[in-house]
Amino acid sequence: MKSLYLAAAFVGTLVPWIFFGGFIAENGINLPLFVAMIFATKPASGFAADLLICCAVFWIWSWRDARETGVRGWWLTVPAVWLVGLSLALPLYLWLRERAGEGE
């Protein structure tokens, strides 16, 4: 499973950054415009709200789980969510968790 989680983290980084890279190429690093575009329509707002709730629940669960299972490096999921998204943070955490379970 470790290899699968690592591959998922790679794909989960690459795919969003294909879109983010296009935005940055067209608009530069313009956070206000980026946020405005995320919430530009009601369907997009719904997806964004859903994702934000999932991120919050993931952080709460993974923080507690990391304490209970001895996962070191849990904090890496925080910048992973902000710089890429849950598509990186979740498989990254699961990879860290598998590693901790093996005693690494």
Rg from Cα positions in the chain: 15
**pLDDT at residue 74 above 80?**
yes
29: Cβ contacts below 8 Å, ≥ 6 apart: none
Q: How far apart are CA 78 and CA 66, in angstroms?
A: 13
| Mean pLDDT value of segment 38-45 | 95
Residue 39 has pLDDT above 80, yes or no: yes
- Other C-beta atoms lying within 10 Å of the C-beta of residue 95: 21
pLDDT top residue among 81 and 104: 81
Q: Where are the alpha helices (DSSP H) in 28-104?
A: 31-38, 42-69, 77-83, 86-101
Average pLDDT over residues 56-63: 95
Domain ranges of the chain: 2-101
Reported as a pLDDT band with limits 50, 70 and 90, residue 104 is low
